[in-house]
Amino acid sequence: MSSKACTCIRAFTFRDAAAQKESLSKHVHDDGDHAQSASRVYESAREIGLGARPVIAVAFCRPRGRKRGRAHLLSRCLWLSGRTAAPGNLLALFHGRFSRVLISSCHRREFDRYQLSLDQKKQMPLIVNADQPREATFDSSLEPGRTYDVLIKTVSGNVASWPTTGNVTTREPVTRKIEEEHVLLEDLFPGAGYEIKVYAISHNQWSEPHVYFQAVYPNPVRNLTISDTTNTSVILAWQPPIESLFTHYIVRYRTVESRDWVVLQAVNKTVAVVDHLQPGERYVIQVRSVSHYVESFTAEEVEQTVPPNPVRGIAPILDSQNITFEWPRPEGRIDLYTIIWWNDATPDRKKSKEIPGTQATEGIERKLTILIGELRPGELYHFKVYTTAHEVNSKDVELSSRTMPVITSDITIVNQLETRSFTIRYTPTPRSVATFDTYRFMLSDPSIPVKEKSAVDDDRKIIFNGLVPGRLYNITAWTVSGGVTSQPLIRQDRLYPEPVSNINASYISDTEITLSWKKPNGDYDSFEVQYLRDNELFTNSTKQDSITITRLRPHRNYTFTVLTRAGSTRKSKPVSAAFTTSESTPGKVDEFEPIEIKPNQVTFRWSLPPDEQNGVLLGFNIKYGIKDTTPTNVRHFEPDELLGVIPNLIPGKTYSFQIEATTKIGSGRIKYWEGTMPVWSPPRPSSQVFPTEVSRTSTTIRIRYRKNYFSNQNGQVVGYTIVVAEDDTKNSEGLELPAWQDVQSYSFWPPYQITEMYYPFNKTSVEDFDIGIEEDCDTHVGYCNGPLKPGTTYRVKIRAYTARTKFADTYFSHPITTDSESGNVGLAVAIPVLLLVLIVVMIMIIRRRRACGFTKRAPDPGSDMHSLPDSIIETSRPVKLQDFVAHYRFMSADSEYHFSEEYEALSHVGCDLQRNAAYMSVNRPKNRFTNILPYDHSRFKLQPTDDEEGSDYINANYVPGYNSPREFIVSQGPLLSTRDDFWRMCWESNSRAIVMLTRCIEKGREKCDHYWPYNTQPVRYGDIQVTILNESRFPDWTISEFRVCKGDVCRVVRHFHFTTWPDFGVPDPPQTLVRFVRAFRERVGPDQKPIVVHCSAGVGRSGTFIALDRILFSIRTSDYVDIFGIVYEMRRERVSMVQTEQQYICIHQCLLAVLEGRENEHPVHEIHDNQGYEDDEGIVESGM
């Protein structure tokens, strides 16, 4: 065939006229001819009404090399709808090359299926089940214009009926010749598929055809409706298109805000389910019919809002006036949450709350939290919750919930040494503040039944019996409304444990006793064994049923008291038993000291305290001897002898003495004394002993004296000298006497010494000495034995020495007169006598004048130090830090004697200060102790209330610290009646820290009221509300934070509670107190003042704490410390600050530990309680 086929052909399906020209222009080749062809196609289609019904437009190009003007042949190989009635009940429709057979009816339905076949062997029979639509299509191997016979049988099992037959003739193809390059095909059947062949014709020669298959738009579906809707799906229903072929349906949907469509899988039924939708979204849904992949020109469309998800998993969180709801955010769109509520009392007064859907969520579960407030405690409320999206509401969720009632009762636990029961008393909670039915009480032991009381029951007492002695119980109280309980009100108390029984001593020695006893029933932590030793109360603890008490005194009767201890406060009734230790050797003799020491004997005094005898005393033995030799001399004294003389000692020798007491067991420890025997002046000889004259000349005298003139009783005589006097009335007893040269100016020579000390009795016992034999005394240095005056009367005495300064003289000898040379002897005698008389008279006058001029008035015995001003009284005793260690050792020596002396010097401080306010009758009950009263000048004054007398009074004083003269407010431990005033003081002083140095109960006595809440529930003290925010426990102290509010103003106050100060004495080791002060100052700066400090009386422990705080500040910048001055200054502001000597010593011990770097050490000591140093004891309680 010489003609060429078309090289391109396209079919266009137009949905509307507006898109025709644009689509044709887009798909036709871009050349002039083609553009004109597309334009002509568009114009022809517009002229014949294209768009009013489905059409197929075909455009194709002319064969290459062909001339214009030749005709083209278009063969339209398709058939319009044709109908041929078949015999019986058969209707067949034929379109193109396929045939669809419709079975109109069948009179009997007792069969399984239809079997259809054509009268040609190439066609396989078709099977249609009886319950399927009665349709069948033959779409292969059919020829146009031919008549076919159709046979239909019903089949049941393997048995077929007689056939029904009919015949159908297929349509002839339509052929159209055109000279244009486009053609408009009309009157096509909707949804039908057509095969189009285009031939090029030249000179009646046909080219090979260009074949193209195209389906016509099927008619749209009808009556699209929504039959059902859920939160995630929509069920659609529609009617099939009329007079149209179609193969299936296409369903599309999108949200109204989106442009992207979601297409479902092909649908063959007139019902479809669109699922997996987002709840709360509004969707646009389209349904189109489809034939041969061509969708209907128009779509049936509907808009539908999917209901939003309802709220699920609502969890109410109850409070007394609020209910907080939590739920996970529902999936999908939520524009609004709505909550409506009401209660049974006012069902017509409903309230509502709307929450935007954009409310913030929390956590992985995206939970919402909604608070419904201003509700009445204990009331039952009903709630309805729903969500809204696009003005469509979800299903309602209804629930009921009751607010928690409140409990404002005050619970008191009455425990009068009971071991097996609790009695609880409570005040009513007003019905005006909450709705509730009953009070509920429960112990922490689940085996104890819960007890309830009606809200209207006037008997407000609950008794729990059958409890375990010594057990710590949590007592919890609630109000209950409809099964909903209030916040618990918790109190804690411990039953008293039962006492032990059958105390026995399984072992007794001189220093140890092993005790055992029978354990009590119930709970207990330990056993406490108390006993007195040396008037000190000792307490030992053990967890066993036996204990060995050591360090006892021998031969003593001890009474042991055993208490069962449960917790830190509960002790059982005491059970006591007495036992005596065995006899032993005595203790060390006390006060072994000489009361009189002579050169050759010592008189000792000693004592042995009764508690050191350790048995039946047999006596005392004193052993002695010269030092560094073995004592060989022993003197025995009877038990009742406490004085003894040791004779026959050698003067000047050093002796060692040791004394020991003895019992039948043996001798005790030795007490030593060592001393050197004194050397005294020799005993003065009697008046009958004096030197005698042997011979004389005019200038010399020979005298004689003997060795035995002087005794060696007071020491060995080591030398002698001679004293000569012309005038023996002058004093001659001095150590230094004039020499011969010194008396030459006197008319009557006074006593003078003629020689240095010498010893003449080495080989003889008699000494003859010549006086006046030396001639050159004028040039001699020292004593000189110069010549005597002739015819002059002299007296002579001998001086003996036991030491250079120890001497004794004989009496003067009888007068000895030298021989005369010449002259008037009478005149020589008269002149000295007259001079002597004058001298005596003058001496008497001078002495009388001196006696009158220097007479002193005796001091007034009634005067004392109290009346002296501070400028006279010692107020400061600073010590350099570098010398403090040595100072402490000095003060500690001799049983801390110097500490006692220094502390005693502080006893008068403050005695002159006034305390008038404390003595007012209205204020006396406010004092815990009658003798610890605040000074007027420094007392803290509360703001007066209503001009009430005494309303400004509280037992507290300002006390200076290192940083400010009013850094501290020191107060007594609050009484139950003054704790409101205590909180007023804290508030009005703007204090942010409280230091508490006592436990509330010590030794079974109240030391301080528990003035803060027991738990985290707020408590009001007057018009001040206190709430515990947190609490941190340490081994020796507890630190808490309180929120303190008055009206709308709130503050945070720290509470530092030192919990291990022993009942007696001071912290052991003292480093514990240092660490507590350090911990306090880490949290409270020097600018946070004033600081409230209290113990029980507010003087002893409080003063110790403040003094240590000041010292730790001062040693940072100063090289000395003045503990005495600090205590003195504090006592001028508050009475008895640093109350005991042991506390005063403790301050020194704390500083010593800091200076030696031991403040973080933890030495282990036996805890002992010293009755003599008991803190706050000895203070008289007011009894109010």
- Catalytic positions: 1095
Nearest in space to 995 (alpha carbons), one of 1106, 1143, 1113: 1106
φ/ψ (deg, to 5) at 1125:
-65, -35
Q: How far is CA 729 from the centre of its chain?
A: 93
Residue type, 900: S
On whether the CB atoms of residues 336 and 420 are closer than 8 A, the answer is no
Contact 253, 285 (CB under 8 A): yes
Query: Taking the CA of residue 694 as centre, how many other CA atoms within 13 Å lie in the half-sphere pointing to its CB?
Result: 13
DSSP H helical segments within 979-1029, as ranges?
979-988
Residues of the chain by 3-state class (helix, strand, coil), percent to 5: 15, 35, 50
Q: What phi and psi, each to the nearest 5 degrees, are found at residue 620?
A: -125, 145
Residue 617 CB coordination number (10 Å):
19
3-state SS, 515-541, equals EEEECCCCCCCEEEEEEEECCEEEEEE
**How far apart are alpha carbons 919 and 930 in whole angstroms?**
9
Cα angle 665, 668, 672 (rounded to 5 degrees) comes to 160
Q: Distance between CA 351 and CA 349 in Å, rounded?
A: 7
Q: Measure the CA–CA gap between 907 and 912, rounded to whole angstroms.
A: 12
Q: Tell me the C-alpha to C-alpha distance, in Å, between residue 110 and each of 40, 130, 161.
A: 61, 9, 11
CA–CA dist 135, 155 (Å, integer)? 16
The overall longest dimension of the chain from CA atoms, in Å, is 220
Residue 986: phi, psi to the nearest 5? -60, -40
**What is the side-by-side strand order in the sheet with 546-549?**
501-508, 513-518, 546-549
* Strand ranges, E, within 344-437: 351-356, 367-372, 380-389, 392-393, 397-402, 411-414, 422-426
Asked if residues 635 and 588 have their Cβ atoms less than 8 Å apart, the reply is no
Task: Calculate the dihedral angle through the C-alpha atoms of 661, 667, 671, 674, rounding to the nearest 10 degrees.
Answer: 100
Contact partners, residue 1101, CB within 8 Å, separation at least 6: 997, 998, 1061, 1095, 1143, 1175, 1176
Distance CA 522, CA 578 (A): 26
Going by C-alpha positions, the residue among 1027, 992, 996 that lies closest to residue 1012 is 1027
Q: Measure the CA–CA gap between 414 and 175, rounded to whole angstroms.
A: 119
Q: Any bridge partners for residue 557, and if so which?
A: 580
Three-state DSSP string of 819-846? CCCCCCHHHHHHHHHHHHHHHHHHHHHH
Q: Are 304 and 226 in contact (CB under 8 A)?
A: yes
